[in-house]
Amino acid sequence: RGQFALCAFPSDTLRTADENAVLRFILKEHPDVIVHTAALSNTQYCQQEPEDSFRANVLLPEWIAKGAEEVGAKLLSCSSDQVYAGVTQRGALAETLSLSPYNVYGQHKLEAEARVLARCPDAVVLRLPWMYDLPGYHLPIRGNLLLNLLRAAQRGESVRFSVRDFRGITYVRQAVALLEPALTLPGGVYNFGSENAENMVLTARQFAETLGITVDIQEADWTRNLAMDCSKLRAQGIVFDTTQTGLTRCLRDYGLL
């Protein structure tokens, strides 16, 4: 909207850049704000290649934080709901929980949070959930709940979700819109996304019903709780739609409702 002059690392630079290259770029651009969204987020790949994950998900955020410190930039660094992987507590999970993620990706994102805040105590660290969007802006889109359901319906395939799996699902364009007010948050960690009180079987069925499609949704029985409590964020005046109302927003944005 013309409020910011944007600059970005050249395409694919962060795949191979070392600490000095990252710092040189930040010092050259001397930004007022740094929004760090890059990650190696394929949990299976991170499990198989922990060294790659450590570089992308721990060292790179730390280098960015060092650059922010040197130029005095406000840093917004993105983490993940996967830091909650392995939590046995039921219900929505707050930022104050003691965590010990069972997967490499979650472990590395949690370590990155600590390193970023140690370097930049005023940094805002956002724990992001699973997000979705529809094609339409000529941007690459990875598999997400919405597209997975639409493709399954089109192909006559079944999808599996667990009645003991809980997580928020967030419309990515609402998350992007709320990044600007997030820049004014006090330093610290925030759950940043849609809350969802339903299990993933019911959530998938709700999505299919809203989309007006028929999908064979098979019930599985694995246990996971990544559902986030966003009370801390709401107390700062930043409010997301619920998972269910977020889908309505998405479909209206695309003229489908």
Give me the pLDDT at residue 193, please. 98
- Helix (H) / strand (E) containing 132: strand 130-132
Least confident interval from 92-101, 132-141, 180-189 = 132-141
Indicate the Cα dihedral angle 151, 157, 158, 159, nearest 10°.
-30
Give me the pLDDT at residue 130, please. 96
Residue 15: band (very low, low, confident or very high) from pLDDT cuts 50, 70, 90: confident
Give me the pLDDT at residue 10, please. 82
Mean per-residue pLDDT over the chain, rounded: 94
CA 180 to chain CA centroid, nearest Å: 16
In sequence order, the 6+-apart residues with CB closer than 8 A to the CB of 161 are 199, 200, 201, 203, 204, 217, 218, 219, 220
The answer to whether residue 14 scores a pLDDT higher than 90 is no
β-pair partners for 55: none
Q: Are 76 and 179 in contact (CB under 8 A)?
A: yes
Which of 67, 59, 194 shows the shortest CA–CA distance to 123?
67
The answer to whether residue 58 scores a pLDDT higher than 90 is yes
The answer to whether residue 2 scores a pLDDT higher than 70 is no
- Helix (H) / strand (E) containing 166: strand 158-166
Q: Return d(Cα 137, Cα 122) in angstroms, integer.
A: 34
The answer to whether residue 46 scores a pLDDT higher than 90 is yes
Q: What percentage of residues in the chain have a pLDDT greater than 90?
A: 89
User: 122-147, pLDDT tens digit by residue?
Assistant: 999 999 999 999 987 776 777 899 99
Q: Return d(Cα 222, Cα 162) in angstroms, integer.
A: 6
Give me the pLDDT at residue 6, please. 86
Which has more confidence, 3 or 177?
177
Give me the pLDDT at residue 135, please. 84
β-pair partners for 99: none
Q: Are 130 and 146 in contact (CB under 8 A)?
A: no
CA 25 to chain CA centroid, nearest Å: 25
Q: What percentage of residues in the chain have a pLDDT greater than 70?
A: 98
Q: Burial letters for 173-196: b for 16+ Cβ neighbours within 10 Å, e otherwise?
A: bbbeebbeebeebeeebbbbbbbb
Give me the pLDDT at residue 20, please. 95
Q: Are strands 188-191 and 130-132 parallel, antiparallel or unpaired?
A: unpaired
Q: Return d(Cα 76, Cα 116) in angstroms, integer.
A: 10
* Mean pLDDT on 99-127: 97
